[in-house]
Amino acid sequence: MLKAHYKTFGGGGGKLDQNFPLAQSQISVSPLQRLSRKILQESYPSFDTGTAEDMSFHSTCWVHRILQCSILILTACQIMVESSSWTYTGHEGQEHWKEAYPDCGGTAQSPVNIQTANVSYDDSLQPIEPIGYSTPGTGSFTLRNNGHTVVLMLSPSMHLRGLSHNFTAVQLHLHWGSSSHPFGSEHQIDSKAFPAEMHIVHYNSDKYADINEAKNKPDGLAVLGIFMEVMQSGATDNLAYGNIFNYLENVSYADQSVTVPAFNVHNLLPNNLDHYFRYRGSLTTPPCHQSVLWTVFHERVHISRSQLDKLQTVVFSTKVTTPSSPLQNNVRDPQPLNQRIVNSSFLVPPPGSYTTGQILGIFFGTFLALLGTFCIVYFVYKKYSRKNRMEVGGKASNVAHNSPSTTAEHVEVKSFQF
């Protein structure tokens, strides 16, 4: 089509080269020309563009041709940008994302390092209410490896309450590290990262038809962030997360997918949904649209060491037909807050202070230590007292036993003297 436009623009005959009948047919009915015609009519009301057929073969309108070529070039550039690849490191790594995706260089990017000393308590923040998470239906989910993470597509019956609009669930995905870089969460708390992080993505279904319409709108998306920690050695697997991890081998390579039976997604969430951090940010991957209302839960969920090892080792960023490259460290670096405020739904203890659980642990630990010390001292005292009583009793008995004999001997001596 671009060649046909060029020949029409450069030729003097006013007709398309007959060697491009398909291009000629496409131009005569193309929505692109209808768009350019509309732009011309709005920009130049006195200009007569004629019919679509006249517009296709009108070679004297150089403004029209330049506009058409410009639109074609811009469209081609847009397609190239949307289809360009990206990685976390290297020539297409996160330092270069903004070159292909301008939003990635914005001032409201995610993730962030949540500094609890600077968090602002907001008592108007309501508890998060997941609706339909426990009963996602009798159908199934689809788990897919997209080359950047593993994505679980969710049921549209799942949504959130407690926000300004109704937000419908779309998918969840994971971020993790590697054995050499075990801290795979994207968000951080006081510069502390965690082994992994899960994001559950929702779109504003009150205002937008689907996530594609909502993803670049300022109020388009709401994402839940859940930190994962590893349980103590020897602990059993987290059964809820087993609904995902048990299928990872089926999506080891990029573009592979598997059907997963529907399960209770609510069990993936932490127990305490009242305590969370809230701020406005972006998608953490290209195109990095600044359209996300973030809710990052304070409480962590726990998975086993074997589950984390599986996540770090059995998933690859490459397709099955290409040399394998492990999918690891799919983590974007923390982004500047740039005057943004991070709110909390709870009073955050100052950094370095003890939590309620830690205080109770210290109290009961100290109490038990004192109780143990008291018991030891008491039993030692009792034993010592008993020993003393026995010794005193023995001496008294000896005195009582020896007294008559001494008297008799004394009498005998006295008698002998007479």
Task: Give the residue numbers annotated as catalytic, written as ranges.
Answer: 148
Q: Across-strand partners of 316?
A: 326
- For 17, list phi and psi in degrees, rounded to 5: -60, 130
C-alpha to C-alpha distance for 343 and 350, rounded to whole angstroms: 15
Whether 318 contacts 325, CB under 8 Å: yes
User: Tell me, what DSSP letter sits at residue 57?
Assistant: H
Q: Is the peptide bond before 111 cis (omega within 30 degrees of 0)?
A: yes
Whose tokens are 């998306």? That residue is: 221
**Residue 102 in tokens:** 């301008």
Percentages (nearest 5) of helix, strand, coil residues in the chain: 40, 20, 40
C-alpha to C-alpha distance for 132 and 148, rounded to whole angstroms: 28
Whether 259 contacts 140, CB under 8 Å: yes
CA dihedral (232, 233, 238, 244) positive or negative: positive
Q: Nearest CA to 198 among 345, 334, 340, 330?
A: 330
For β-strands 196-204 and 221-230, DSSP reports them as antiparallel
Q: Is the peptide bond before 287 cis (omega within 30 degrees of 0)?
A: yes
CA 279, chain centre distance (Å): 14
Name the CA dihedral angle for 158, 114, 272, 164, rounded to a multiple of 10 degrees. Answer: -40
Q: Nearest CA to 147 among 320, 282, 292?
A: 320
